[in-house]
Structure 1
Amino acid sequence: MANIHSDIHTNNAKAKLHMVLGRLLDGVSDDDLEKIQTEVDETEAVAPGGGHHDHDHPTVE
């Protein structure tokens, strides 16, 4: 049963994320999205470590 509950929770979280992203992108044109993707691609191309941002991640013990 725990897996079913986890799957339901994950699906609810995904549905909420889709709803929020949909609202954020509602007024964004395809040209704007293409421009954003180009900027992201260019940033990743020049970033050290193959596009990975440079900071330490906390470790969980």
Structure 2
Amino acid sequence: MGVGGGNLQGSLYKEFLDIGQKEVNRAWWQPSLRLDSWKLVQSSSLILQWKQTLTQERN
């Protein structure tokens, strides 16, 4: 029966969600950490835009 496997997958998924929620809560209560992760997101999107511009200029 695949019931056991399904339960395992479901519990792993729930655990993953719980961990994600904890990380979000931690980031929320530590503004400096939240800013750092926001900067990381911003810089990575800037890098992606820059790479796209470079490839467009080459063509």
Normalising by structure 1, report the TM-score: 0.47
Task: Specify the structure having the higher radius of gyration (Cα).
Answer: 2
Going by fraction, where is helix more abundant, 1 or 2?
2
